[in-house]
Structure 1
Protein backbone atom coordinates (compact mmCIF):
# COMPACT_ATOMS: atom_id res chain seq x y z
CA UNK A 1 0.00 0.00 0.00
CA UNK A 2 3.00 2.29 0.11
CA UNK A 3 2.83 3.24 -3.57
CA UNK A 4 -0.89 3.97 -3.33
CA UNK A 5 -0.34 5.96 -0.15
CA UNK A 6 2.29 8.14 -1.84
CA UNK A 7 0.03 8.57 -4.87
CA UNK A 8 -2.95 9.81 -2.86
CA UNK A 9 -0.73 11.94 -0.64
CA UNK A 10 0.47 13.68 -3.79
CA UNK A 11 -3.09 14.10 -5.04
CA UNK A 12 -4.13 15.55 -1.66
CA UNK A 13 -1.17 17.92 -1.74
CA UNK A 14 -2.09 19.04 -5.25
CA UNK A 15 -5.66 19.79 -4.22
CA UNK A 16 -4.47 21.58 -1.06
CA UNK A 17 -2.21 23.88 -3.08
CA UNK A 18 -4.85 24.38 -5.77
CA UNK A 19 -7.56 25.16 -3.20
CA UNK A 20 -5.29 27.65 -1.46
CA UNK A 21 -4.33 29.47 -4.66
CA UNK A 22 -7.91 29.43 -5.92
CA UNK A 23 -9.16 30.68 -2.57
CA UNK A 24 -6.79 33.64 -2.64
CA UNK A 25 -7.40 34.74 -6.21
CA UNK A 26 -11.01 33.73 -6.89
CA UNK A 27 -14.06 35.24 -5.29
CA UNK A 28 -16.38 32.36 -5.99
CA UNK A 29 -17.43 29.97 -3.20
CA UNK A 30 -18.49 26.92 -5.27
CA UNK A 31 -15.03 26.31 -6.71
CA UNK A 32 -13.42 26.72 -3.31
CA UNK A 33 -15.83 24.24 -1.78
CA UNK A 34 -15.28 21.72 -4.58
CA UNK A 35 -11.51 21.91 -4.23
CA UNK A 36 -11.66 21.60 -0.44
CA UNK A 37 -13.92 18.55 -0.73
CA UNK A 38 -11.57 17.03 -3.32
CA UNK A 39 -8.67 17.60 -0.92
CA UNK A 40 -10.56 16.02 1.97
CA UNK A 41 -11.57 12.96 -0.06
CA UNK A 42 -8.06 12.32 -1.37
CA UNK A 43 -6.59 12.94 2.09
CA UNK A 44 -9.01 10.38 3.54
CA UNK A 45 -7.87 7.75 1.05
CA UNK A 46 -4.21 8.65 1.71
CA UNK A 47 -4.66 8.27 5.48
CA UNK A 48 -6.37 4.92 4.96
CA UNK A 49 -3.55 3.67 2.72
CA UNK A 50 -0.87 4.82 5.16
CA UNK A 51 -2.72 3.17 8.07
CA UNK A 52 -2.98 -0.10 6.15
CA UNK A 53 0.72 0.07 5.27
CA UNK A 54 1.64 0.61 8.92
CA UNK A 55 -0.80 -2.06 10.16
CA UNK A 56 0.01 -4.82 7.67
CA UNK A 57 3.54 -3.96 6.65
CA UNK A 58 4.93 -4.02 3.14
CA UNK A 59 3.25 -6.23 0.55
CA UNK A 60 5.15 -8.43 -1.88
CA UNK A 61 4.28 -5.89 -4.58
CA UNK A 62 6.22 -3.24 -2.64
CA UNK A 63 9.43 -5.30 -2.81
CA UNK A 64 11.10 -5.17 -6.25
CA UNK A 65 13.15 -8.32 -5.52
CA UNK A 66 10.15 -10.43 -4.41
CA UNK A 67 9.21 -13.62 -6.22
CA UNK A 68 5.82 -14.05 -7.84
CA UNK A 69 5.10 -16.96 -5.51
CA UNK A 70 5.42 -14.73 -2.43
CA UNK A 71 2.12 -13.05 -3.35
CA UNK A 72 0.10 -16.28 -3.42
CA UNK A 73 -2.26 -17.56 -0.77
CA UNK A 74 -5.33 -16.08 0.87
CA UNK A 75 -5.32 -12.29 0.87
CA UNK A 76 -8.04 -11.49 3.37
CA UNK A 77 -11.56 -12.40 4.43
CA UNK A 78 -14.26 -11.51 1.92
CA UNK A 79 -17.86 -11.73 3.02
CA UNK A 80 -20.19 -14.21 1.31
CA UNK A 81 -23.62 -13.22 0.04
CA UNK A 82 -25.34 -10.63 2.21
CA UNK A 83 -28.58 -8.67 2.10
CA UNK A 84 -27.09 -5.56 3.71
CA UNK A 85 -25.94 -3.96 0.42
CA UNK A 86 -29.51 -4.04 -0.89
CA UNK A 87 -30.87 -2.59 2.36
CA UNK A 88 -28.22 0.14 2.38
CA UNK A 89 -28.84 1.05 -1.27
CA UNK A 90 -32.60 1.21 -0.71
CA UNK A 91 -32.13 3.39 2.36
CA UNK A 92 -29.76 5.74 0.53
CA UNK A 93 -32.20 6.04 -2.38
CA UNK A 94 -35.16 6.80 -0.13
CA UNK A 95 -33.05 9.26 1.88
CA UNK A 96 -32.03 11.05 -1.34
CA UNK A 97 -35.66 11.21 -2.41
CA UNK A 98 -36.49 12.55 1.02
CA UNK A 99 -34.13 15.46 0.47
CA UNK A 100 -36.24 16.38 -2.56
CA UNK A 101 -39.76 15.57 -1.36
CA UNK A 102 -39.75 16.21 2.36
CA UNK A 103 -38.44 15.51 5.80
CA UNK A 104 -40.87 12.66 6.44
CA UNK A 105 -39.44 10.63 3.55
CA UNK A 106 -35.86 11.48 4.57
CA UNK A 107 -36.55 10.14 8.06
CA UNK A 108 -37.94 6.91 6.62
CA UNK A 109 -34.86 6.66 4.40
CA UNK A 110 -32.58 7.18 7.38
CA UNK A 111 -34.55 4.53 9.27
CA UNK A 112 -33.87 2.06 6.45
CA UNK A 113 -30.26 3.18 5.90
CA UNK A 114 -29.13 2.94 9.54
CA UNK A 115 -29.73 -0.83 9.95
CA UNK A 116 -28.07 -1.46 6.59
CA UNK A 117 -24.92 0.39 7.60
CA UNK A 118 -24.95 -1.20 11.06
CA UNK A 119 -25.29 -4.60 9.41
CA UNK A 120 -22.27 -3.89 7.22
CA UNK A 121 -20.22 -2.84 10.23
CA UNK A 122 -21.21 -5.54 12.70
CA UNK A 123 -22.06 -8.51 10.45
CA UNK A 124 -18.73 -10.24 11.04
CA UNK A 125 -17.65 -8.45 14.23
CA UNK A 126 -17.40 -11.71 16.18
CA UNK A 127 -15.47 -13.54 13.48
CA UNK A 128 -12.32 -15.06 14.96
Structure 2
Protein backbone atom coordinates (compact mmCIF):
# COMPACT_ATOMS: atom_id res chain seq x y z
CA UNK A 1 0.00 0.00 0.00
CA UNK A 2 2.88 2.28 0.73
CA UNK A 3 4.33 1.91 -2.76
CA UNK A 4 0.97 2.61 -4.36
CA UNK A 5 0.72 5.85 -2.38
CA UNK A 6 4.22 6.91 -3.45
CA UNK A 7 3.34 6.13 -7.08
CA UNK A 8 0.05 8.02 -6.87
CA UNK A 9 1.76 11.05 -5.30
CA UNK A 10 4.50 11.07 -7.92
CA UNK A 11 2.07 10.63 -10.79
CA UNK A 12 -0.19 13.42 -9.54
CA UNK A 13 2.80 15.73 -9.05
CA UNK A 14 4.06 15.01 -12.55
CA UNK A 15 0.60 15.57 -14.01
CA UNK A 16 0.29 18.85 -12.08
CA UNK A 17 3.49 20.12 -13.69
CA UNK A 18 2.44 18.97 -17.17
CA UNK A 19 -1.07 20.36 -16.73
CA UNK A 20 0.30 23.67 -15.49
CA UNK A 21 2.60 24.04 -18.49
CA UNK A 22 -0.02 22.91 -21.00
CA UNK A 23 -3.02 24.99 -19.96
CA UNK A 24 -3.85 28.65 -19.64
CA UNK A 25 -2.26 30.23 -16.52
CA UNK A 26 -5.60 31.82 -15.56
CA UNK A 27 -7.07 28.36 -14.83
CA UNK A 28 -5.59 27.36 -11.44
CA UNK A 29 -8.17 24.76 -10.41
CA UNK A 30 -6.66 21.75 -12.20
CA UNK A 31 -3.14 22.43 -10.95
CA UNK A 32 -4.45 22.97 -7.43
CA UNK A 33 -6.45 19.74 -7.49
CA UNK A 34 -3.56 17.70 -8.83
CA UNK A 35 -1.16 19.25 -6.33
CA UNK A 36 -3.49 18.46 -3.46
CA UNK A 37 -3.84 14.91 -4.79
CA UNK A 38 -0.05 14.56 -4.88
CA UNK A 39 0.23 15.88 -1.32
CA UNK A 40 -2.45 13.42 -0.22
CA UNK A 41 -0.57 10.51 -1.78
CA UNK A 42 2.71 11.59 -0.21
CA UNK A 43 1.01 12.12 3.18
CA UNK A 44 -0.49 8.61 3.15
CA UNK A 45 2.81 7.08 2.04
CA UNK A 46 4.72 8.96 4.74
CA UNK A 47 2.29 7.87 7.44
CA UNK A 48 2.47 4.25 6.33
CA UNK A 49 6.27 4.46 6.22
CA UNK A 50 6.44 5.83 9.78
CA UNK A 51 3.99 3.21 11.03
CA UNK A 52 5.89 0.39 9.34
CA UNK A 53 9.14 1.49 10.96
CA UNK A 54 7.55 1.48 14.42
CA UNK A 55 6.40 -2.14 14.11
CA UNK A 56 8.98 -4.79 14.84
CA UNK A 57 8.99 -8.03 12.93
CA UNK A 58 6.08 -9.56 11.08
CA UNK A 59 2.66 -9.04 12.66
CA UNK A 60 0.76 -12.27 13.38
CA UNK A 61 -1.84 -11.62 10.68
CA UNK A 62 0.87 -11.36 8.01
CA UNK A 63 2.80 -14.48 9.02
CA UNK A 64 2.11 -17.23 6.46
CA UNK A 65 2.91 -19.88 9.08
CA UNK A 66 0.91 -18.19 11.82
CA UNK A 67 -1.85 -19.82 13.80
CA UNK A 68 -5.20 -18.33 14.75
CA UNK A 69 -4.23 -18.49 18.42
CA UNK A 70 -1.30 -16.10 17.75
CA UNK A 71 -3.65 -13.15 17.42
CA UNK A 72 -6.28 -14.26 19.91
CA UNK A 73 -7.42 -11.67 22.39
CA UNK A 74 -10.18 -9.31 23.34
CA UNK A 75 -11.51 -7.27 20.44
CA UNK A 76 -13.91 -5.21 22.53
CA UNK A 77 -17.59 -5.23 23.28
CA UNK A 78 -20.12 -5.10 20.46
CA UNK A 79 -23.75 -4.52 21.28
CA UNK A 80 -25.79 -7.51 20.12
CA UNK A 81 -29.17 -5.83 19.67
CA UNK A 82 -28.91 -2.06 19.66
CA UNK A 83 -31.45 0.04 17.76
CA UNK A 84 -29.54 3.30 18.18
CA UNK A 85 -27.30 2.91 15.09
CA UNK A 86 -30.44 2.44 12.98
CA UNK A 87 -32.02 5.66 14.27
CA UNK A 88 -28.74 7.52 13.88
CA UNK A 89 -28.38 6.33 10.28
CA UNK A 90 -31.99 7.24 9.52
CA UNK A 91 -31.66 10.76 10.89
CA UNK A 92 -28.32 11.21 9.10
CA UNK A 93 -30.00 10.17 5.86
CA UNK A 94 -32.67 12.80 6.49
CA UNK A 95 -29.97 15.42 6.97
CA UNK A 96 -28.19 14.48 3.74
CA UNK A 97 -31.50 14.36 1.88
CA UNK A 98 -32.17 17.83 3.23
CA UNK A 99 -29.03 19.12 1.56
CA UNK A 100 -30.66 18.31 -1.77
CA UNK A 101 -34.29 19.08 -0.95
CA UNK A 102 -34.28 22.00 1.44
CA UNK A 103 -32.67 23.39 4.56
CA UNK A 104 -35.84 22.86 6.58
CA UNK A 105 -35.26 19.10 6.29
CA UNK A 106 -31.68 19.54 7.55
CA UNK A 107 -33.04 21.32 10.62
CA UNK A 108 -35.60 18.56 11.19
CA UNK A 109 -32.93 15.87 10.87
CA UNK A 110 -30.58 17.76 13.20
CA UNK A 111 -33.39 17.94 15.74
CA UNK A 112 -33.69 14.14 15.72
CA UNK A 113 -30.01 13.24 15.28
CA UNK A 114 -29.00 14.70 18.65
CA UNK A 115 -31.19 12.35 20.77
CA UNK A 116 -30.13 9.40 18.57
CA UNK A 117 -26.46 10.20 19.08
CA UNK A 118 -26.86 10.72 22.82
CA UNK A 119 -28.82 7.46 23.09
CA UNK A 120 -26.14 5.51 21.25
CA UNK A 121 -23.25 6.97 23.22
CA UNK A 122 -24.90 6.48 26.62
CA UNK A 123 -26.65 3.18 25.84
CA UNK A 124 -24.74 1.21 28.45
CA UNK A 125 -24.13 4.07 30.85
CA UNK A 126 -24.80 2.92 34.38
CA UNK A 127 -24.82 4.79 37.63
CA UNK A 128 -26.67 7.61 39.33
CA UNK A 129 -26.49 9.94 36.30
CA UNK A 130 -27.78 7.44 33.73
CA UNK A 131 -30.21 8.74 31.14
User: What is the TM-score with the length of structure 1 in the denominator?
Assistant: 0.53
Counterparts of 2:116 and 2:34, CA distance in 1:
29
- 2:97 pairs with 1:97: yes
Distance 1:20 1:10, change over 3 A: same
Counterparts of 1:18 and 1:108, CA distance in 2:
44
Asked if the contact 2:12–2:35 (Cα under 8 Å) also holds between the matched residues in 1, the reply is: yes
Equivalent residue pairs, number: 112
- 2:85 pairs with 1:85: yes
Q: List gaps (5 residues or longer) in structure 2.
A: 21-26, 127-131
The alpha carbon displacement at 1:79 in A equals 1.2
> What aligned pairs does 1:1-128 form with structure 2 within 5 A after superposition?
7=1, 9-24=2-17, 25=19, 29=29, 33=33, 36=36, 39=40, 43=44, 50=51, 59-63=59-63, 67-71=66-70, 73-80=72-79, 81-121=81-121, 123=123
Q: Which protein has greater RCO, CA pairs closer than 8 Å, 6+ apart?
A: 1
The alpha carbon displacement at 1:17 in A equals 2.8
Asked if the contact 1:88–1:117 (Cα under 8 Å) also holds between the matched residues in 2, the reply is: yes
Counterparts of 2:120 and 2:34, CA distance in 1:
29
Of structures 1 and 2, the larger Rg is shown by 2
Distance 1:11 1:68, change over 3 A: same
User: What is the TM-score with the length of structure 2 in the denominator?
Assistant: 0.52
Q: List gaps (5 residues or longer) in structure 1.
A: 1-6
**Relative to structure 2, which stretch is displaced further, 16-25 or 84-93?**
16-25
Counterparts of 1:124 and 1:59, CA distance in 2:
33
